[in-house]
Amino acid sequence: MKNLFLAWPAWAVLSAAFAALTAIFAKVGVENVGSDFATFVRTLVILCMVAALLLATGQWQSPSAVSGRSYVFLVLSGIATGASWLCYFRALKLGDAARVAPVDKLSVVMVALFATVFLGERLSLANWCGVALIAVGAVLVASR
């Protein structure tokens, strides 16, 4: 069991499970709250959780030990995350969670495309078929 959590697939499945719960909890949470305020509350909770994790596990790093390049890309990632969350909560406020979440997961398709173009990663034909199925599946689930 210990080795299970040393590999990325276990963490990826947990991420998917928590993302699913995020959609359900957020949909209920935005019923009587503005979507942007809901995103703010969510962000505060995440900040507190990560701070507690860093303290509890002793993983805090000196900010001066991080390279400028890393900061640039972490800040860009933070901006993209914030924009994604704002859009996601707005979509949940306006639409059904069961249809919003699959469209949001088109990010999987976009990551495959961006990783190929910008990072030089390569996917096999079978991988591209899987990416295409994800795209088609998201569209089918989102349509009425």
Region 33-41 average pLDDT: 94
The H-assigned helical ranges of 4-124 are 8-29, 35-57, 68-94, 97-104, 106-119
From the list 28, 27, 41, 32, the residue with the least C-alpha distance to 101 is 27
**Closest residue by Cα to residue 74 from 58, 90, 63:** 63
pLDDT digits (tens, 9 = 90+) for 70-106: 999 999 999 999 999 999 999 999 999 999 999 999 9
Question: What is the reported pTM?
Answer: 0.82
The answer to whether the CB of 134 falls within 8 A of the CB of 108 is: yes
